[in-house]
């Protein structure tokens, strides 16, 4: 009886540890089993990459003037389905000299899927990005940053990096002032900042973006694309 209890407890503990390890791996911003992952670039230059996930939506038309005002370049990780719905907004991003990244076609979590599923999600979106006019290297960011084995392996086979982030103000705060302060207090040269501005119909996101652009510009930071940041 005692032996059965020990076996049961040990089995439960092993399963728990396995699930915990899987969860940690899936959500890690700094580690994956295959290929390269970038959350930040080591540099002494005061440069940062401002990245926007999801969309494109009509909000692009409000974001682009802000970037132009501060002479900033950004990286937009776009969803394939949304590019099909808003092709003009995607083209405007390219025309303004910004980078477009691949955020998959459906925005489903890239875990526990087949190799053919990953291939379709990435390649279909790549084609839409090229049709929008973007000619540079297409970086990839998995939806919600979640990945396990199959997705990173697919990217490694095709010599593609996984781009994550080291600053995510939207995840911790709701007020624009708090988000701006968070970025100011934690910014480092080579940081990659994540913001989700596409579906917010209030002024909160625009205030956040302009606040970050203004405050970091005042501190001497330059805003570059992820591709430019990696070249450093």
Q: Where are the beta strands (DSSP E) in the chain?
A: 37-38, 47-53, 75-78, 99-102, 162-163, 192-195, 222-224
Task: Give, as one character, the DSSP assignment of residue 219.
Answer: T
8-state DSSP, 184:
H
For residues 197 and 212, is the Cβ–Cβ distance under 8 A? no
Catalytic residue (choose from 53, 54, 139, 161): 53
Cβ contact 162:152 at 8 Å:
yes
Q: Is 158 a catalytic residue?
A: no
Identify the active-site residue in 158, 196, 203, 231.
196
Type and span of the H or E element at 14 = helix 2-27
Q: How far apart are CA 29 and CA 19, in angstroms?
A: 18
The yes-or-no answer on residue 53 being catalytic is: yes
Residue 135: CB atoms within 10 Å: 8
List the catalytic residues: 53, 196
């Amino acid at each position: 009886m005692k032996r059965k209890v020990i076996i049961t407890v040990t089995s439960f503990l092993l399963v728990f540890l396995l699930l915990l390890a899987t969860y940690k791996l899936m959500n890690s911003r700094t580690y994956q089993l295959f290929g390269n992952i970038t959350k930040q670039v080591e540099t002494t230059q005061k440069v940062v990459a401002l990245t926007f996930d999801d969309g494109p939506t009509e909000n692009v038309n409000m974001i682009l003037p802000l970037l132009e005002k501060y002479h900033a370049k950004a990286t937009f990780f776009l969803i394939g389905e949304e590019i099909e719905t808003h092709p003009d907004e995607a083209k405007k991003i390219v025309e303004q000299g910004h980078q477009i990244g691949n955020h998959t076609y459906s925005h489903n979590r890239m875990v526990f899927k087949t190799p053919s599923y990953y291939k379709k999600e990435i390649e279909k979106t790549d084609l839409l990005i090229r049709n929008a006019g973007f000619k540079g290297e297409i970086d990839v960011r998995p939806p919600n940053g979640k990945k396990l084995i199959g997705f990173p392996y697919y990217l490694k086979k095709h010599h593609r990096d996984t781009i994550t982030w080291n600053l995510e103000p939207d995840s911790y705060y709701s007020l624009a002032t708090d988000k701006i302060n968070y970025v100011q207090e934690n910014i480092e040269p080579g940081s990659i900042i994540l913001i989700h501005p596409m579906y917010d119909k209030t002024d909160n996101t625009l205030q956040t973006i302009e606040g970050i652009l203004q405050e970091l510009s005042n501190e001497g930071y330059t805003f570059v694309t992820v591709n430019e940041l990696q070249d450093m």
